[in-house]
Amino acid sequence: MKINNQINEVEKYIKNKYGSSSDIITRRIKINDNEILYIYLESVSSDDKISGFLMKDLSKYVNNQKEIKTPLINLLKNSILNSHLSIIDTYEQVFYNLSSGYTIIFINGEKNAIAIETKSILDRSISEPSMESTIRGPRDCFTENNATNIGLIRKRIKDPNLWFKETKIGKRTKTKINIVYIKNIANIKKVKFIENKLKKINIDGIIDSGYIREFLTQNSLSAFPEFRSTERPDVATAELLEGKILIMVENTPQVLITPGLFIDFFHTSEDYYQKPINITFTRILRIIGFFITLCTPGLYVALTTFNQTIIPYELLISLSIQRNGVPFPTSLSIFIMMIVFEILREADIRLPNAMGASISIVGALVLGDAAVSAGIVSPIVIIIVAITSIGSLIFNDIDFVNAIRLWRLIFLIFSTVLGIPGFVIAGIIFTINLCSMESNGIPYLTPISPFYPKAQTDVITRFSKKKMKYRPVYLTKNKKRIED
Amino acid sequence: MKILKKIIVLFIIFMLTGCFDYKELNNLAIITKMAIDKNGDEFEVSFSIENTKSNTESNIIYTAAGKSISEAINNIQLTLPKKIYTGHLSIIIINEELAKNNLNQLINYLIKSKEYSQNFYLALSKDKSSKETINEISNLETKLSKNILSDINNEITFSDFLKTLIKPGIDPVLPVITIKDNTIDVSSTLALFNNYKLVAFSNENQSKGINLIYNKTKEMIIPIKSDNKNIATIKLSNINTKTKIKNNTIININIKENYTIKEINYEIKKQTINEIKNKTKNEIKKLIQEGIEISKNNDIDIFGFGNMIYKNNASYFNKIKDTWGTEFKKINPNIKINLITDDNLQQTTIKENNNS
> What pLDDT shows up at residue B56?
65
| Length in residues, chain B | 356
Domains contained in chain A, number: 3
Residue A467 lies in a domain: no
- Given CB atoms, is B16 within the 8 Å cutoff of chain A? no
CA atoms B319, B325, B327, B333: torsion sign: positive
Same domain membership, residue A378 and residue A336:
yes
Chain A interface test: which of B25, B31, B52, B144 (most A C-beta within 10 Å): B25
Is the Cβ pair A320, B28 closer than 8 Å?
A: yes
Highest mean pLDDT among A143-152, B149-158, B254-263: A143-152
Interchain contact B181–A (C-beta under 8 A)? no
Return the closest-CA partner of residue A87 out of A101, A68, A107, A67. A107
* A465 in a structural domain: no
Does residue A483 lie in a domain region? no
Residue A363 falls inside a structural domain: yes
Whether A58 and A172 share a structural domain: no
* Domain assignment present for A345: yes
Residue type (1 letter), A351:
L
Domain finish residue from A221, A250, A272? A272
Chain A positions in Cβ-Cβ contact with residue B87 (cut-off 8 Å) = 308-309
C-beta of residue A156 within 8 angstroms of C-beta of residue A180: no
Nearest CB partner across the interface for B25, out of A308, A413, A417: A308
Contacts of B295 (CB under 8 A, 6+ apart): B192, B210, B301, B302, B303, B328
Nearest Cα of chain B lies from the Cα of A335 at a distance, in angstroms, of: 16
Residue A247: the pLDDT is: 95
CA A398 distance to own-chain centroid: 11
Residue ranges making up the domain that contains A75: 7-117
Nearest CB among A308, A314, A417 relative to B28 is that of: A308
Distance CA(B104)–CA(A196), nearest Å, equals 78
Question: Is A124 domain-assigned?
Answer: no
Q: Do A305 and B17 touch (CB under 8 A)?
A: no
- Look at A221 and B3 and tell me if their CB atoms are within 8 Å: yes
Burial class (CB in 10 A: 0-12, 13-18, 19+), B254: middle
* pLDDT tens figures, B291-318: 888 888 888 888 888 888 888 888 888 8
Chain B residues with CB under 8 Å of A314 CB are: 144-145
B22 closest CB neighbour out of A306, A319, A326: A306
pLDDT digits (tens, 9 = 90+) for A459-474: 999 999 888 888 988 9
Q: Give the chain A residue whose CA is nearest to the CA of B26.
A: A320
Residue A40 has pLDDT above 60, yes or no: yes
pLDDT tens readout for residues A291-330? 999 999 999 999 999 888 889 888 888 888 888 888 888 9
A43-52, B36-45, B202-211, B322-331: least confident range:
B322-331
Question: How far apart are alpha carbons B292 and B302 in whole angstroms?
Answer: 9
Is A290 in the same domain as A437?
yes
Residues 6+ apart with CB under 8 A from A209: A229, A247, A248, A249, A252, A254, A255, A256
Task: Please give, rounded to a whole number of angstroms, the shortest distance from the CA of B13 to a CA of chain A.
Answer: 10
pLDDT at B141 (0 to 100): 65
Quick check: A416 and B19 CB within 8 A?
yes
Establish if A459 belongs to a structural domain. Answer: no
pLDDT at position B267 over 80: no
Helix, coil or strand: residue B125:
strand
Q: Which residue of B has its CA nearest to A304?
A: B25
For B50, which of A317, A416, A417 is closest by C-beta distance? A317
Domain ranges of chain B: 20-201, 205-356
The residue from A422, A443, A464 where one domain ends is A443
Q: Identify the pLDDT of residue A57.
A: 75
Q: Are residues A430 and A293 in the same domain?
A: yes
| DSSP letter, residue A365 | I
Q: Determine what percent of chain A is predicted with pLDDT higher than 90.
A: 39
Q: How far apart are CA B344 and CA B105, in angstroms?
A: 55
Model confidence at B349: pLDDT above 60: no
Name the nearest CA neighbour of A394 among A265, A209, A245.
A265
Determine, for residues A313 and B54 on separate chains, whether the beta-carbon distance falls below 8 Å: no
CB contact under 8 A, A305 and B25: yes
When pLDDT is cut at 50, 70 and 90, the band that residue A65 belongs to is low
- A159 plus A238 within the same structural domain: yes
Q: Is residue A135 part of a domain?
A: no
Q: Is the pLDDT of residue A66 over 50?
A: yes
* Residue A290 sits in the same domain as residue A436: yes
Q: B25 and A326: CB-CB below 8 Å?
A: no
Report which secondary-structure segment, H or E, holds B145: none
- Contact: B85, A416; criterion CB under 8 Å: no
* Stretch 159-188 of chain A: residues touching chain B, C-beta under 8 Å: none
Q: Would you call A415 an interface residue with chain B, using a CB distance cutoff of 8 Å?
A: no
Of B88 and A237, which is predicted with more confidence? A237
> Hey, is the C-beta of B207 within 8 angstroms of any chain A C-beta?
no
3-state secondary structure of A14: helix
Minimal C-alpha gap between B91 and chain A (Å): 13
Span B15-22, average pLDDT: 70
HSE-CB at B226 with a 13 A cutoff on CA atoms is: 19
Q: Of A216, A249, A272, which closes a domain?
A: A272
State residue B19's pLDDT score: 64
Determine the pLDDT at residue B151.
Answer: 56
Closest among A44, A55, A46 to A21, alpha carbons compared: A44
A285 and A412 inside one domain: yes
pLDDT, position B152: 59
Could you tell me the fold of the domain covering B205-356?
A: GMP Synthetase; Chain A, domain 3 (3.30.300)
pLDDT in tens, A367-407: 778 888 888 888 899 999 989 989 988 898 889 999 999 99
Mean pLDDT, chain A, whole residue set = 88
